[in-house]
Amino acid sequence: MPAKGTVKFRLTPAILAKAEAASARGLDHDDIARVLGISVATLYDHKAKNEEFAEAIRRGKAKGHLAIADAVYNKAKAGNMDAARLILSRRYGWHETMKQQLSSDPESPLEPQVMIYLPDNGRGPKPTMTQAEYDAVVGRTSKDQD
């Protein structure tokens, strides 16, 4: 017998259909319970005890995924590049990379244009570049230093 002030929850075909529809729309268990007018504890209790109820929620979730996947797939087929990228990245692990040229000549080798020199703290290897070599790399002449 239910506690005073509560209504006994019965699983009917209408309740199963409502639970499936809510799950298909991406609602979590808290929201599905609210839609059904029950507590979250009651929802979990009935899911554990009634395989038909648990299956309705799982089936709804799968139907929701299918509906979204179909919509994205159809947009990708229609030429929507964002949808195509989404499918390729999520389903097939594809990703885009950007290659930046440091020169306007596409045939020139990529060479770093920035060198960072950190102060010597005495713990690392000694630099192998002389001051004159450094000046030549950065394009500085002895006149620039004055």
Cβ atoms of residues 53 and 36 within 8 Å: no
Is 59 exposed, middle or buried (CB count within 10 Å of its CB: 0-12, 13-18, 19+)? middle
> What pLDDT, on the 0 to 100 scale, is given for residue 144?
55
What per-residue confidence (pLDDT) applies to 87? 87
Whether the model pTM is above 0.85: no
Residue ranges of the domains in the chain? 13-92
Q: What is the pLDDT of residue 101?
A: 55
CA 137 to CA 100: how far, in whole Å? Answer: 22
Task: For 92-139, write each residue's pLDDT tens digit.
Answer: 777 776 665 555 666 666 665 565 555 556 666 555 667 777 777 777
Tens digit of pLDDT for each residue in 24-59? 999 999 999 999 999 999 999 999 999 999 999 999
Q: What percent of the chain has pLDDT over 90?
A: 47
What confidence category does residue 1 fall into, taking pLDDT thresholds of 50, 70 and 90?
A: very low
Do 57 and 20 meet the contact criterion of CB atoms below 8 Å apart?
Answer: yes
Report the pLDDT value the prediction gives residue 127, as an integer from 0 to 100. Answer: 59
